[in-house]
Amino acid sequence: MADHSITELRPYKKPVPLNVRVIRKYTLQWNPKDPKKRYYLLKDGHGNAIEARVETRSKKIDAQVSLYRCYKIDGYVVNPPMSFGKVVSQDTTIVIGDRTVFQHIPELPVPIPKQHFEFALHGALEDRVKKNPVLTGIALDRTSLNVFRIIYSLSDYLCRIESNSAVMKRKDKNLLKMMVTDLSEHTIEITLWEEMAYTYVNVLSPGKVIAVASLKVTRLTVAFVMCHITEKIQLESTPATTIDLELAIEGYAEEIKRLQMLPKRASCQYGYQTERDIRDNITTIADILSGEPVLVNNRRFACIARIKEIQGYRTWYSRKCPHCNDSVRPEEDDMICKHCGTVESTKYAYCVNAVLFDGTATLPVVFFDDAMRQLLGTDCETMVVREGFSDTKQVPGPMIELIGKEKLYSFIYRFNEDSTIQQTLEVQPLTSAPIAVPVTAKETSLPDSVKPTGPAAAPATPAAKNQKKHVRDLEGTDGPSTKKAKDKDE
C-alpha cells in the first residue's frame, strides 16, 4: 500500500490511510462560550504536519492515543482549517470521530521526527501583524457566496534568550516574560501565561537557544504623543505552545550555532524599552490627562518630572511567597501564603505610592520592586533587614531624598488608578527647563477620582513632615512664606 502524504488531503473529499506520529496533544478553547476540545498535531514521513480535532462522544480514543507513538489512521473527516489559531500551514484539518481508527504501528525505516516547526523571522511578524491585529499569519479561503473567510495562524520562533523575569501576577493571571533575539538579530518580548510560566521558570535562562511553537502576535502601544500612537509587536503563548531547548531541537544545528555566536545584547533588559524609544516619546502629564481615556489608558508614556510626595500613609513594601510570588499574611507566628500554605522565608518587594509633578500637572504613580530598586540602587530586603527600615508606613530617609530630583520617567498610564513606573533615566542636559515643585495645600491636593479616603487620608507621620521640609529646602526662597513677605513689603 502506498505511503500517502498529508498534502493529498482535500476538504470534504474521501480520506486516505495515513502513517503518522502524534507529536503534540493539547486542549484549546479560543471562545470562552465554547466547550474545551482536544487536539493532536500529527506528522507524516514526508515532513508534513496537520492538526486533528477530537470530536468523539467517548474518551476511548484519546486514552488509547499516546504522545510520540506512530499510528496508521483511517475513518476520519477532512475539513477546512479552523478560522482561528491555525497551528501549521496545512490548508486542511482532520476531525476525529467515533469511527476513526488508530492502529499502532512500529517505527518506520525512516523515523518520523518528533518535532515540527515553521519558523518565522521578525520581519515576517511585522508584515503579518499590520494586516491582522491579533495573530501572525493570514490566509484567505473562498467560501460560498463569494465571501472570503480570514484564517488566523500561529507562529513558531527560533531565538536566543537575552533576559527573563520571575513569575509575576497581572490581573489574577500568572505570567513570565523574556526578551529574545532571532536570526535576523531583532529582539522581541515573549510572554508565557499560567502553567507555562511555572513549567519553564527554572529552565529558561539568558544565553539559551529555544524553539517556541504556536505563539500569537499582539500589539503593544508604547507611546501616545500628540495624537500619534507608537506601537510594537510582542509574542504570547497559547494552549498549543511548546518550548524545546537547543539540545532537543532536531535539524537546526547551523541556525543554533549562529544564534549562539551573536553578540550579547547588553542593553536588552527584561521589560524595558530602549533609552532611545523613551527619549523620542517625551510628553507632559497635562497632555496625557487631557487625552481621551480610551486612547491613553494602559499606554506607555515618558515625562520629565519630579517626585512631589511619597505617600507614607500607604505601605511602601510587601512580603511575598518565594514559591509563587503572591502576597503572604501573618498568622500568629507563621507567614501564610493562600496557595502554598506556611512558608519559612519571604521575599521583600517595594510598592511605593507617590505623586509626580512635571510643571503642568500632578500624577499619582506606584513604583514596584524593579522600578524602585533601579531608582534607589538598593534592594528591598537590604532596606528592611540590614538598614532597619521595617515600619511599613515610615518612609525611609533614602526615599525622602528622592523628592524634588528631576528624572525622566517611563510609565504605563492607568485611568482612575495609580500609573505604574517602568523605568527611570537621568535627564540629559538642556532637555527641559527646571521644574518648580509647588508645596501649597491647594496645589498638592489630588483630583477627586484619586483622593484617598478615611482616617489614613491625612498623613501625620514624621516621614510626611520630613518630606515637606525636604521640598522647601530644595526650593530655597521661592516658597510660600517668601511670597507672603513680598506681598507685605508691597
**pLDDT tens profile 342-360:** 888 898 999 999 999 999 9
What radius of gyration, in Å, describes the C-alpha atoms of the chain?
28
Residues 179 and 203 in one domain: yes
Residues 296 and 443 in one domain: yes
Are residues 224 and 333 both part of a single domain? no
Assess if residue 137 is contained within a domain: yes
> CA torsion sign, 285 to 290 to 295 to 297?
positive
> Domain containing 457 — which CATH number?
2.40.50.140
How far, in Å, are 55, 150, 206, 254, 348 from residue 101 at the CA level?
13, 32, 45, 39, 56
Is 1 among the domain residues? Answer: no
Q: 46, 72, 104 — which closes off a domain?
A: 104
How far is Cα 278 from Cα 98, in angstroms, rounded to an integer?
A: 57
In a domain, 115, yes or no: no
**469 and 365 co-located in one domain:** yes
Same domain? For 73 and 218 the reply is no
Do the Cβ atoms of 335 and 343 come closer than 8 Å?
Answer: yes
In percent, the amount of the chain with pLDDT more than 90 equals: 31
Which of 280, 271, 300 has the alpha carbon at shortest distance from 288? 300
- Examine the domain organization and report whether 133 and 239 are in the same domain: yes
> Residue 386 — left, alpha, or beta (φ > 0 → left; ψ -120 to 50 → alpha)?
alpha
Side-chain half-sphere CA neighbours of 86 within 13 A: 23
Q: Which comes out higher in pLDDT, residue 247 or 70?
A: 70
In terms of domains, do 315 and 171 share one? no
Q: From 205, 237, 271, give the residue that closes a domain.
A: 271
Least confident of 109-113, 143-147, 166-170: 143-147
Q: What total number of domains does the chain contain?
A: 3
Q: Are residues 361 and 343 in the same domain?
A: yes
Confidence class of residue 59 from pLDDT cuts 50, 70 and 90? Answer: confident
Instruction: Decide if 488 is inside a domain.
Output: no
Residues 234 and 287 in one domain: no
Residue 156 pLDDT > 50, yes or no?
A: yes
Whether residue 288 sits in one domain with residue 161: no
What burial letters (b/e) apply to 157-171, b meaning 16+ CB within 10 Å? Answer: bbbbbbbbbebbeee
359 and 440 together in one domain: yes
Same domain, 295 and 430: yes
Which triple of cell numbers denotes residue 10? 482535500
Measured CA to CA, the distance from residue 457 to residue 312 in angstroms comes to 10
- Among the listed residues 129, 157, 18, 136, the one whose alpha carbon sits nearest the alpha carbon of residue 74: 18
Domain end residue (candidates: 254, 271, 288) = 271
Which residues form the domain of 420? 276-483
